[in-house]
């Protein structure tokens, strides 16, 4: 989700927050792109089209398959290397969150607050949630886990939709309607609850550990929002995430301890590998921190104010999309521009993902582009 799509919910009413990318005459102009002589080869190898994506999309990746969803309720699985449609289904309603998949089941949430799970394009069950959801459900271990905007966590049986447990924890009345953090680490469910990363027992929701990544700062409730935002990144026993407007940090999820945290603004998620953690701040200054220590390895201001997406780290390259649909390939070690590829001119609406040698990017206008660096 781009930072211009972030919104806040308080006392049942939504107020728009243009996080670092406010519209109007004072909005900084994007920094002009420098001429580039491509350092690596790459091209668009396939593309597909779905309805516009106006919600916080997460693309699910299973071996050889991308599972995506569009705003009109379509859910489809694509063969990663060719873009061939494997199956398509519809939940019959507009979406606010999706898509989570384990390769068998796919789960999304509708605007009416209904959790819908599909198998091979066929709806197998629906469950009213009674809460707002903007984070893609997690499907794992024959369970579907849901993180609400109110920071509550819910678990359902993937086979029949029966509710297994719920955890509601006290928090600030103002909440962030942006994709949050929910994922798996070995036999632990890892979720963002406010500025904390928590490890829960997936069988009953009991808290095993929790670690604060960001410290809220500011003079009002909006400025003090510091919820963890997705995507997060896992490298071995380490899980790294961004605390909205406040920090980027990493947690040892095996021990439930903080590895490091750095105060830095920004509103979108992070990517990481065994060497570096990558993220852009609110002005699109890109920083790479050393994964082990949090020490700054490099930073770049060459893409300032271009409306960058959350990144993808793959091989020796880190990849960002921007608000004009351009995909920027940067060297992992120094942040030098290697390649640019164009899509349909609309903003990249989800963090790029990779399966095998194919990278998928999704645009706000519903363009699905399979890219292959060479």
d(CA 357, CA 175): 38
The reply to whether 133 falls in a domain is: no
For 220, residues 6+ apart whose C-beta sits below 8 A from its C-beta are none
Q: Is residue 161 part of a domain?
A: no
User: Considering the domain boundaries, does residue 15 fall inside one?
Assistant: no
Beta-carbon count within 10 A of 4 CB: 18
Domain assignment present for 248: yes
Is 145 part of any domain?
no
- Split at pLDDT 50, 70, 90, the class of 19 is very low
Residue 174 and residue 9 in contact, taking contact as beta carbons nearer than 8 Å: yes
Q: For 320-359, how does the pLDDT look when each residue is reduced to its tens digit (9 = 90+)? A: 999 999 999 999 999 999 999 999 999 999 999 999 999 9
State the pLDDT at residue 25: 52
Please give the structure tokens belonging to residue 34. Answer: 């420098």
Q: Which two tokens stand for residue 176?
A: 């962030």
CATH number, residue 244:
2.130.10.10
For the cut 70, the answer to whether the pLDDT of residue 43 exceeds it is: yes
User: Residue 251's domain spans which residues?
Assistant: 178-301
Mean pLDDT, the chain, whole residue set? 91
- pLDDT for 205-249, tens place per residue? 999 999 999 987 766 777 778 899 999 999 999 999 999 999 999
Residue by residue, DSSP assigns 303-371 as TTTS-----EEETTEEEEE-TTSEEEEEETTT--EEEEEE-SSSPB-S--EEETTEEEEEBTT-EEEEE
Q: Is 2 helix (H, G, I), strand (E, B) or coil?
A: coil
Number of domains in the chain: 1
Q: Would you say residue 224 lies in a domain?
A: yes
Report how far residue 322's alpha carbon sits from residue 341's, in angstroms, rounded to the nearest whole number.
11
Give the mean pLDDT of 276-300: 98
Is residue 19 situated within a structural domain?
no
| pLDDT > 90 in the chain, percent | 86
Instruction: Judge whether 143 lies within some domain.
Output: no
| pLDDT above 50: residue 265 | yes
């Amino acid at each position: 989700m781009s930072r211009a799509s972030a919104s806040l919910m308080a006392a049942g009413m939504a107020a728009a927050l243009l996080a670092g990318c406010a519209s109007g005459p004072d909005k900084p102009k994007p920094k002009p792109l420098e001429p580039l002589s491509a350092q690596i080869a790459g091209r668009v190898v396939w593309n597909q089209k779905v309805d516009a994506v106006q919600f916080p999309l997460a693309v699910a990746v299973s071996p050889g398959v991308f599972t995506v969803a569009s705003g009109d309720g379509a859910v489809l699985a694509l063969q990663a290397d060719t873009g061939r449609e494997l199956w398509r289904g519809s939940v019959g309603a507009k979406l606010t969150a999706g898509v989570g998949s384990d390769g068998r089941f796919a789960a999304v949430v509708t605007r009416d607050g209904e959790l819908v799970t599909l198998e091979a394009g066929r709806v197998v069950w629906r469950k009213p949630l009674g809460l707002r959801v903007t984070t893609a459900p997690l499907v794992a271990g024959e369970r579907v886990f849901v993180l609400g905007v109110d920071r509550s966590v819910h678990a359902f049986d993937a086979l029949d939709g029966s509710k297994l447990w719920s955890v509601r924890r006290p928090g600030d009345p103002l909440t962030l309607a942006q994709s949050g953090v929910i994922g798996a680490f070995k036999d632990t469910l890892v979720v963002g609850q406010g500025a904390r990363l928590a490890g829960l027992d997936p069988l009953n929701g009991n808290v095993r550990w929790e670690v604060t990544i960001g410290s809220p700062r500011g003079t009002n409730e909006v400025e003090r929002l510091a919820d963890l935002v997705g995507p997060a990144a896992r490298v071995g026993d380490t899980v790294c995430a961004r605390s909205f407007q406040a920090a980027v940090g990493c947690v040892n999820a095996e021990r439930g301890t903080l590895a490091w945290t750095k105060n830095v603004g920004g509103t979108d998620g992070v990517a990481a590998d065994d060497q570096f953690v990558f993220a852009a701040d609110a002005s699109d200054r890109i920083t790479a921190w050393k994964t082990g220590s949090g020490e700054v390895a490099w930073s770049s201001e060459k893409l300032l104010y271009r409306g960058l997406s959350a990144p993808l780290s793959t091989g020796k390259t880190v990849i960002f999309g921007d608000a004009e649909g351009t995909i920027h390939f940067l060297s992992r070690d120094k942040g030098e521009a290697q390649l640019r590829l164009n899509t349909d001119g609309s903003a990249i609406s989800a963090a790029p993902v990779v399966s095998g040698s194919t990278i998928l990017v999704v645009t706000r206008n519903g363009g699905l582009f399979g890219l292959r660096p060479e």
